[in-house]
Structure 1
Amino acid sequence: SCIPGGDMYQYAQDISSKGKNHIRNFIRNGGGYLGICGGAYFASEEVIWQGQKLPMKPLGLFSGTAEGPIDEIVNYPDYTMCKVNIMDSIHPVTISEPDSISVLYYWGPMLIPNKDTDITILGRYDKGNQPTMLIFEYGEGRVFLIGTHPEIEENSDRDGVNFGNELDDKGSDWDLMNKATLWCLKENL
């Protein structure tokens, strides 16, 4: 499953309880989940938006809280490039990544794990040092969550969209996303 950026509250409303169970069972039985921004919020047990817990039923794959937007990075409703520090330089998803990457921030969450959870934090926002990129196993499956938008190629037509083209992108994050996808699929990296 790949749940992109978007309205996590709408995802929670539009996907029925039965549909959410199908997604959880798919992952639990060996599937993968790639959650980008809204998809990361949706995967969490609890969602806090602008300081308020949302009355929604997210997937609950991630034992923790997704909280945003993060005004320390940019005031809502603006967006910007942000620095993400790589925390695990030996994991197959991040092994060839530099010490930090520049990624589009567009209202994404900080991903705060509950205590005593088996979650690997791969990246943290430079401002505030909060987790933004993490991985974990869910039953027999694998989950990758990221609060930023690595799929957007700012100042490039490569991604087929004009959004963010006024921003200065220091490089592509598509290799990172390719490795995350392969990891979720249990493919060789």
Structure 2
Amino acid sequence: MPRTALVYRGPAGCDGCAETLAERLGSGGSGLDVSFIGPGQDVEATPEALDGASLFVQPGGGDDIDDAASHFSQGFSRALRRFVHDGGRYLGVCMGAYLAGSDGFGLLSTSIEGAVGTPRFPVADSGEHLVEVAWNGTKRWTFFQEGALLPARGAEVCARYCAGGTAAALYRVGKGRVGLIGPHPEADQTWFDEAGLSDPDGDDWRFARPLVDRLLA
């Protein structure tokens, strides 16, 4: 029986981010039944919406954590924390990773900081870039825009920025798990074309897919 994945689509996400993640998660024999959750979507973002779901997915968004968090009711945030603590799974990419911290949904007890501007990191602005990321030891040039630098404490590290720091990781929260990704391995060719970037080593999703598989295991 397919497991249900709810992918947020709405004002707390960026144009195209939800659709790309939904397509990625629903492909490759994942066994996931993917629906959109959010204002005017297949499923409204109410506390009851998480009943029966296996995975909640928060895609990338803007650059304001407080603004993104304001689009969710306190009741939904409490329900999401309970959902994960009781055994559910959360996947957060870029803004979705930031929202997992104490400034957002509160799934982790610490706030999530950004990689931009940290020592040795090659990006110093909010633009679209390629950064080198080692996915389980395999170095790939990965789409990046103001991505998170993930906390090391409690992390099962799945990817590291080659400049230093955790780029993707899994965390245990109660009976559930949280998977966070700072950059955008889900980015397809349309993302690169729109940003005017040339991808030197091809699609990266297959290198991030093991994190999703372990998250759902």
TM bracket, shorter-chain basis: 0.7 to 0.9
Residue aligning to 1:11? 68
AA matched with 1:164:
A
Q: Would you say 1:175 and 2:206 are equivalent positions?
A: yes
Say if 1:81 and 1:24 are closer, same or farther in 2 by CA, change over 3 A. same
Q: How far apart are residue 69 of structure 1 and its match?
A: 5.1
Name the SS for the 2:131 alignment partner. Answer: strand
AA matched with 1:104:
F
Q: How far apart are residue 33 of structure 1 and its match?
A: 0.7
Say if 1:112 and 1:65 are closer, same or farther in 2 by CA, change over 3 A. farther
Say if 1:28 and 1:65 are closer, same or farther in 2 by CA, change over 3 A. same
Query: How far apart in 1 are the matches of 2:83 and 2:213?
Result: 17
CA contact (8 A) 1:69 1:76 kept: no
Query: How far apart in 1 are the matches of 2:205 and 2:213?
Result: 12
Residue aligning to 2:20? none
Q: Would you say 1:26 and 2:61 are equivalent positions?
A: no
AA matched with 2:149:
M
Residue aligning to 1:2? 57
Q: How far apart are residue 177 of structure 1 and its match?
A: 3.7
Say if 1:147 and 1:119 are closer, same or farther in 2 by CA, change over 3 A. same
AA matched with 1:35:
G
Q: How far apart are residue 14 of structure 1 and its match?
A: 1.0
**What TM-score comes out, normalization by structure 1 length?**
0.73
Residue aligning to 1:65? 111
Map 1:73-112 → 2, pairs under 5 A: 73-86=122-135, 94=136, 98-112=137-151
**What TM-score comes out, normalization by structure 2 length?**
0.64
- Considering fraction of residues, name the structure with more strand: 1
AA matched with 1:147:
G
AA matched with 1:65:
S
- Considering fraction of residues, name the structure with more helix: 2
CA contact (8 A) 1:31 1:184 kept: no
Query: Identity of counterpart residues, as a percentage?
Result: 27
CA contact (8 A) 2:86 2:174 kept: yes
Query: How far apart in 2 are the matches of 1:124 and 1:6?
Result: 22
AA matched with 2:84:
I
CA contact (8 A) 1:111 1:131 kept: yes
By relative contact order (CA 8 Å, sep 6+), the higher-ranking structure is 1
The partner residue of 1:120 within 143, 146, 156 is: 156
CA contact (8 A) 2:169 2:211 kept: no
AA matched with 2:114:
G
Q: How far apart are residue 150 of structure 1 and its match?
A: 0.8
List, as ranges, runs of 4+ consecutive aligned residues in structure 1 with deviation greater than 3 Å: 161-165
Long gaps (5+) in structure 1: 46-56, 87-93
State the Cα RMSD in Å. 2.2
Q: How far apart are residue 13 of structure 1 and its match?
A: 0.7
Residue correspondences, number: 157
Say if 1:63 and 1:121 are closer, same or farther in 2 by CA, change over 3 A. farther
Name the SS for the 1:27 alignment partner. Answer: helix
Query: How far apart in 1 are the matches of 2:160 and 2:111?
Result: 15
Say if 1:151 and 1:142 are closer, same or farther in 2 by CA, change over 3 A. same
Name the SS for the 1:149 alignment partner. Answer: coil
Q: How far apart are residue 10 of structure 1 and its match?
A: 2.5
Residue aligning to 1:147? 182
